[in-house]
């Protein structure tokens, strides 16, 4: 949304469409190529939420390794203590 607003401002107040057309084209094409490369590397959608989730998980793994936190044990305890109202009713 910010890109659209910036291009609108630059096109109609600062410059003309003759100047902004190649800039808009190459900016949009570059963002599409970066998104496609992200998809090819990660096999996930190139959304902001997915990127932030991946960034969070990588930082979490680094912190867990640095402080010797047992993540597998944590997940096991979390599954054991889960509230029955959360929707996972299949107990084995």
pLDDT tens readout for residues 51-84: 899 999 999 999 999 999 988 888 888 888 876 6
Q: Closest Cα partner for 23 from 11, 36, 35?
A: 11
Asked if residue 55 is part of any domain, the answer here is yes
In the chain, what's the furthest Cα-to-Cα distance? 66
* Residue 29 scores a pLDDT above 90: yes
According to the model, what pLDDT value does residue 17 have?
A: 86
- pLDDT-derived band of residue 91, with 50, 70 and 90 as boundaries? low
- The model carries a pTM of 0.58
Domain count, the chain: 2
Is 90 inside a domain boundary? no
* 1/30 same-domain check: yes
For 53, which DSSP code? H
């Amino acid at each position: 949304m910010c890109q659209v607003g910036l291009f609108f401002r630059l096109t109609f107040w600062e410059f003309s469409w003759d100047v902004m057309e190649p800039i808009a084209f190459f900016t949009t094409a570059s963002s599409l190529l970066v998104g496609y490369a992200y998809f090819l590397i990660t096999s996930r959608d190139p959304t902001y939420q997915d990127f932030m989730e991946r960034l969070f998980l990588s930082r979490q793994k680094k912190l867990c390794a640095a402080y010797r936190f047992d993540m597998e044990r944590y997940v096991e305890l979390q599954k054991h203590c889960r509230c029955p109202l959360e929707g996972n009713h299949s107990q084995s």
